[in-house]
């Protein structure tokens, strides 16, 4: 039960070996998610995503705990296998979600077979900010953090990246056949992978090359998306919510944008921590910017924080190749060091 009286469901998987075990807690992130998220492999077959963790951690003698977000309930009869109680879901403020993490940690501390002194938080995307804040609130009760797809600064900064550099990271593989990090008029017209024909058939090259230099570049993308990026930067909640309504897979909770726009940055929560923090970031992450992590790393080094490690992976995106486990039967270059 949450601190404010809502029923929540979690699933704890423990090794079969006797004694008490460390446990990794997967932190809920921005969108509604069940305790046993489903995805599809390369053959289109449904798979339980968290088996990636359970199958790997169990033989290492480590448990795994996942939980359903506020107002989210597993329902195999529905698309995405979930039912959302909107009234409860809309209580998913940052503070409440952080307090839910604290509740999960303290629940696990009482479970037989769990080593209460070795509870780790695993955060992805918004979950990285939530995990860091939770750890800053109960630093003696969290043993360490494992973070990837990290919000290096704030949601505002990450949203700007999503419509600028992140958008270019999406388009370059579709058009940039000579791999010079820009798209020529010829490459645009050739549409080697059929992206333009399928998604933006009426878009002319002139419309994506505002500086008229003959190439579509990040500088052009910044011009094209300036109204949106300005809205994010200045904290325009209405425009941002309208953007996310189209971009998000599941509708965001009520008040979520305003909540983030007034929230503190990642360093505020990481800077006082003395526990081990491992950060894993793909260079090609469309959602969170690698440059923000590099800036965060400079802050950590300047402050002498040797407990925080940074690992970067060329060519990997927001998921660090997590589906390799299901498609190739082995961990990706991003996930292998997480488990190591």
> What would the pLDDT profile of 42-56 be if each residue is shown by its tens digit?
888 888 899 999 999
- What pLDDT score does 20 carry? 97
**CA-based radius of gyration for the chain:** 21
- Tens digits of residue pLDDT in 188-213: 999 999 999 999 999 999 999 999 99
Q: What is the pTM (predicted TM-score) of this model?
A: 0.94
- What pLDDT score does 30 carry? 77
- What pLDDT score does 156 carry? 95
Q: How far apart are CA 92 and CA 302, in angstroms?
A: 35
Please determine, for residue 100, whether its predicted confidence score (pLDDT) is greater than 90: yes
Q: Tokens 């918004």 — which residue?
A: 126
Please determine, for residue 37, whether its predicted confidence score (pLDDT) is greater than 90: no
State how beta strands 21-26 and 277-282 pair.
unpaired
- What pLDDT score does 29 carry? 84
Mean pLDDT of the chain: 94
- Mean of the pLDDT values across residues 21-26? 98
- Mean of the pLDDT values across residues 260-270? 97
pLDDT band at 214 (very low <50, low <70, confident <90, very high): very high
Please determine, for residue 295, whether its predicted confidence score (pLDDT) is greater than 70: yes
Give 97 or 37, the one with higher predicted confidence.
97
- What pLDDT score does 79 carry? 63
- What pLDDT score does 307 carry? 98
- What pLDDT score does 83 carry? 87
Give 31 or 289, the one with higher predicted confidence.
289
- Mean of the pLDDT values across residues 292-301? 97
- Tens digits of residue pLDDT in 226-251: 999 999 999 999 999 999 988 877 78
């Amino acid at each position: 039960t949450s601190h404010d009286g809502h029923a929540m469901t979690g699933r704890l998987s423990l090794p079969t070996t006797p004694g008490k075990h460390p446990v990794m807690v997967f932190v809920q992130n921005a969108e509604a998610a069940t305790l046993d998220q489903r995805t599809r492999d390369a053959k289109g077959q449904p798979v339980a995503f968290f088996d990636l963790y359970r199958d790997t951690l169990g033989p290492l003698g480590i448990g795994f705990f996942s939980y359903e977000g506020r107002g989210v309930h597993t329902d195999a009869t529905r698309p995405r296998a979930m039912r959302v109680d909107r009234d409860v879901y809309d209580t998913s403020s940052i503070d409440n979600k952080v307090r839910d993490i604290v509740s999960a940690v303290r629940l696990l501390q009482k479970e037989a077979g769990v080593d209460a002194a070795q509870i780790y938080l695993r955060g992805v995307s918004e979950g990285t900010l939530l995990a860091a804040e939770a750890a800053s609130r109960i630093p003696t009760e969290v043993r360490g953090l494992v973070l990837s797809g990290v919000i290096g600064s704030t949601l505002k900064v990450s949203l700007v990246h999503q419509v600028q550099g992140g958008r270019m990271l999406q388009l370059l593989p579709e058009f940039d056949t000579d791999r010079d990090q820009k798209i020529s008029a010829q490459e645009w017209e050739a549409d080697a992978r059929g992206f333009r024909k399928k998604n933006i058939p009426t878009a002319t090259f002139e419309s994506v090359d505002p500086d008229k230099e003959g190439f579509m570049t990040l500088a052009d993308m910044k011009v094209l998306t300036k109204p949106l990026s300005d809205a994010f930067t200045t904290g325009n909640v209405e425009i941002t919510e309208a953007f996310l309504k189209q971009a998000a897979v599941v509708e965001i909770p009520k008040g979520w944008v305003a909540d983030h726009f007034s929230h503190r940055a990642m360093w505020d929560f990481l800077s006082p921590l003395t526990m081990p923090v491992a950060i894993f970031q793909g260079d090609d992450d469309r959602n969170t910017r690698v440059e923000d992590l590099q800036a965060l790393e400079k802050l950590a080094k300047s402050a002498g924080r040797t407990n925080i490690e940074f690992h970067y992976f060329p060519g990997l995106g927001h998921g660090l190749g997590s589906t390799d486990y299901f498609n190739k039967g082995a961990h990706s270059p991003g996930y292998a060091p997480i488990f190591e």
